[in-house]
Amino acid sequence: MLAPWLKPVMAARAVKFDDYVMPEIFKARGGASISVVRLLDWVVRDVRPALWDSAGGGGLLFASAVGPVVNLQLAQATARRREIAIRSATGAGTGRLARQLFVEALTLAIAGATAGMTLTALILPRAPRTLIRSRP
């Protein structure tokens, strides 16, 4: 079966190349063979299980970090129902309330991202060089 990108003419040329040129090149090497491997498969050949483990660990860490944040946001929204009801009763429109909540959430997100990047900038240079070199 041909690869989707390989046209029949190209396949015929490839077979002709293998039949006539390759045996001549590899006679001196004791019958060496050629195998075609995708670049991605070749790059991650030995570390694929470790990459899957790292991805799974990262997913679990993400899930364990997101759960409490969502819980806190729901609790905060429940606690602010009264405030939002009063603001709505005093004439604040839906757009204004949505804008206020969006600005508050954006401010918290920017503060959290800044804190995370600052901690990363402080911790990463102090990481042992041997650990960084041993990672694939």
pTM: 0.46
Domain assignment of residue 27, yes or no? yes
Find where tokens 């009763």 sit: 89
Domain assignment of residue 135, yes or no? yes
Domain assignment of residue 42, yes or no? no
> Residue 26: is its pLDDT beyond 90?
no
Split into its structural domains, the chain has a count of 2
Q: What does the pLDDT look like over 40-93, one tens digit per residue?
A: 878 888 888 888 888 999 999 999 999 998 898 888 888 888 888 898 899 988
Domain assignment of residue 82, yes or no? no
> Residue 134: is its pLDDT beyond 60?
no
Confidence of residue 11 (pLDDT cuts 50, 70, 90): very low
- Helices marked H in 1-136 — which ranges? 8-20, 22-26, 39-43, 48-79, 81-89, 94-123, 129-134
Domain assignment of residue 56, yes or no? no
Domain assignment of residue 20, yes or no? yes
Q: At what angle do helices 81-89 and 48-79 cross, to 10 degrees?
A: 50
Q: Which domain holds residue 22?
A: 8-36
What tokens were used for 65? 């970090």
**Closest C-alpha among 26, 5, 2, 32 to residue 15:** 2
pLDDT at 74: 87
- Residue partners of 47: CB distance under 8 A and separation at least 6: 136
Domain assignment of residue 78, yes or no? no
CB 136 within 8 A of CB 47: yes
> Residue 17: is its pLDDT beyond 50?
no
Average pLDDT, stretch 22-44? 67
